[in-house]
């Protein structure tokens, strides 16, 4: 996200930030529910953090992670059905809907990047420059 901010890609940086915040809220919901069920919560990373500097690769990686999460949550929702746990099932179904929305957002940005190539990123940078330039002259 810092890379995107530094290059002036505010829209993409904000998309990743908003999604990251929502993902943290998912973790909080799941942890609260596990504790409610008298379980233990162990917080650990699902995998190693990968540094990705190419915008297209960032979007592809994020899109893949959202798909994987949606598939996992859907599987967990189905398991909850088998165990007559409708509350947990509903929680996982809500998470699936969020992950699919995240995927759609990343997919749309990948489409835009493919359609408009470098112009897409340049336009984001130009818009940021306009905003910064406008705020300097207004003050």
- Name the DSSP class of 1: -
- Name the DSSP class of 103: H
Please state the pTM of the whole predicted model.
0.82
Per-residue pLDDT of the chain (139 residues; tens, 9 = 90+): 557 877 778 888 899 999 999 999 999 999 999 999 999 999 888 788 888 888 899 999 999 999 999 999 999 999 999 999 999 999 999 999 999 999 999 999 999 889 887 788 887 777 666 666 655 555 5
Domain that holds residue 97: 2-42+50-138
Q: Measured between alpha carbons, how far is 52 from 56 in angstroms, rounded to an integer?
A: 9
Q: What is the CATH number of the domain that holds 106?
A: 1.20.1260.10
- What pLDDT was estimated at residue 5? 74
Q: Measured between alpha carbons, how far is 105 from 111 in angstroms, rounded to an integer?
A: 10
Total of domains in the chain: 1
């Amino acid at each position: 996200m810092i890379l995107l901010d530094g290059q002036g890609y505010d829209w993409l940086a904000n998309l990743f930030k908003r999604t990251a915040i929502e993902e943290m809220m998912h973790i909080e919901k799941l942890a609260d529910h596990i504790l409610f069920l008298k379980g233990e919560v162990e917080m650990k990373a699902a995998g190693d953090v990968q540094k990705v500097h190419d915008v297209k690769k960032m979007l592809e990686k994020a899109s893949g992670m959202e798909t994987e999460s949606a598939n996992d949550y859907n599987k967990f929702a189905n398991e909850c059905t088998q165990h007559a746990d409708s509350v947990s099932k509903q929680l996982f179904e809500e998470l699936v809907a969020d992950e699919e929305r995240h995927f759609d957002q990343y997919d749309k940005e990948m489409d835009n990047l493919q359609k408009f190539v470098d112009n897409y990123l340049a336009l984001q940078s130009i818009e940021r420059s306009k905003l910064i330039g406008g705020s300097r002259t207004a003050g």
